[in-house]
Amino acid sequence: MQAPSPPSETVRQDGTSHSPRPSLGEVTRVSLKVGLLSFGGPAAQISVMHQEFVENRKWLTEDRFLHALNYCMLLPGPEAQQLATYCGWLSARALGGLVAGLLFILPGAFAMALVSYVYAAHGDTTIIASIFYGVKAGVLAIVVQALLKIGKKALTTQLACMICGLSFCALFFFSVPFPIVIFGAALAGLFFGDASGTLRNERDDATGKKASLAATARTLVIGVTVWALPPLAAVLFLAPGNVFAEIAEFFSLLAVVSFGGAYALLSYMAQVAVESKAWLSAGEMLDGLGLAETTPGPLILVTQFVGFLGGWREPAPFQPLTGALLAAAMTTWVTFAPSFLFILAGAPWMEKLRGNAKLARALSAITAAVAGTVLNLAIWFALHVLFAKTDTLTFGAFQLLWPDVFSLDPVLLGIALVAAILVFAARRGMATVLIATAALGFVAKML
């Protein structure tokens, strides 16, 4: 796909110097690191990208990163993978976006293929689960660090703090659909926000001059064609009603309606995959979700697990393993291809609109809502990491997720405390934290 080039940025918004645009090789190395360390869901993955692209390399300013994050939050599909693509596009043009987006997916896709095979062939993933057991505790410390950093940058006004708090309450206590929360925040910012500071900071940058209708149309045509080629091949060259065509049709639809992340889609996906298609059982769906939570990459890679088992059980005209791998590849392809298209076609226009007063107010409010979203994810993640059981207390529309205190995992709590010391006291990098917690978890499980 071709897309307009992102505008260069050589001056930070506080007047300090800004690193020049990196080479494609540098973006590739950093993107691979991000992909390998992308454990723990969107909150942790956003933290990894923020640290690598903003803090360590200074390829992007804070405002530009948050502007990209706001846009990705508005889109269907995995927001963390879209943000990786956006960061790569800003850093090294369209090819950088493709590389960053692909490398964010591939480590997790390979890991899911491996664990899916072990699960389908042997039904035992004990060793793999042991390796990733302690990683979750390390990710928890990284999530808290991300929350503090994003909150410090986003919550600079009373309105922003109010929007953050209300967004968290809406998500955590009332399970309000995520798109409604974002839409409400945008309206609040539009009518009550003040974007004067944002506009003043953006004027040093020649935003938007690279966006054009011709380039966008070219990107859309190429992107849709590339997205459609594997499904068309399954329809044209295999028997009618084959599992590969069914997987392509179902997950293509899922990709463009998946607002709110993987959990918002689980009930619908389970209903179709388990009840209608019989690709797997309800218990296997839960097992796949657990595997997706422990391996790197976006949680939506649970779809790959579903596709793998579907191809394993209906592989014709291939052998089971070949059919499973092809079905898994088809699932991953149609799930993520639209996300690349949304960024490569839409990001130039979002950059062009950075100086628009109304949009700036709305996006500033969305940034505050995103902080509330990250807080919601952090608490949800902490409860599910540290406790084996949780209960939901319901009073009408009010819902409270509450842990069973007797199900606390003391080993993971201890590893989480070690991770917190490494992150906040020793100030160690993510690689060190994840390696240390993985080793502690593996030893604990094996003993």
Note the pLDDT of residue 43.
75
User: Which segments of 258-301 does DSSP mark as H helices, in order?
Assistant: 262-270, 282-294
Instruction: Read off the pTM.
Output: 0.77
Note the pLDDT of residue 14.
44
Q: Is 281 helix (H, G, I), strand (E, B) or coil?
A: coil
Note the pLDDT of residue 2.
53
Note the pLDDT of residue 259.
72
Which residues are CB-contacts of 147 (< 8 A; sequence separation ≥ 6)?
43, 371, 374, 375, 378
Note the pLDDT of residue 18.
53
Q: How many CB atoms lie within 10 A of CB 16?
A: 9
CB 39 within 8 A of CB 299: no
Q: What is the DSSP letter of 262?
A: H
Domain residue spans in the chain? Answer: 236-335
Bridge partners for 17 per DSSP: 11
Note the pLDDT of residue 204.
38
Note the pLDDT of residue 16.
43
CB 250 within 8 A of CB 277: yes
Note the pLDDT of residue 265.
66
For 77-134, the pLDDT digits (tens) are 888 999 999 999 999 999 999 999 999 999 999 999 999 999 998 877 777 778 778 8
Encode the chain (447 residues) as per-residue pLDDT tens digits: 555 556 544 444 444 445 678 999 999 999 999 999 888 778 778 888 998 999 999 999 988 998 898 899 888 888 899 999 999 999 999 999 999 999 999 999 999 999 999 999 887 777 777 877 888 788 788 778 878 877 887 888 999 999 999 999 998 999 887 778 888 998 999 998 875 444 444 433 433 446 889 999 999 999 999 999 999 999 999 988 899 999 999 999 888 877 766 655 666 787 788 888 989 987 788 788 778 877 888 888 989 999 999 999 999 899 999 999 999 999 999 999 999 999 999 999 998 887 788 888 888 888 888 888 878 877 887 888 899 898 988 888 898 988 999 999 999 999 999 999 999 999 887 778 888 998 999 999 888
d(CA 305, CA 284) in angstroms, rounded, equals: 9
Note the pLDDT of residue 261.
60
Q: Is the dihedral of CA 47, 155, 354, 366 positive or negative?
A: positive
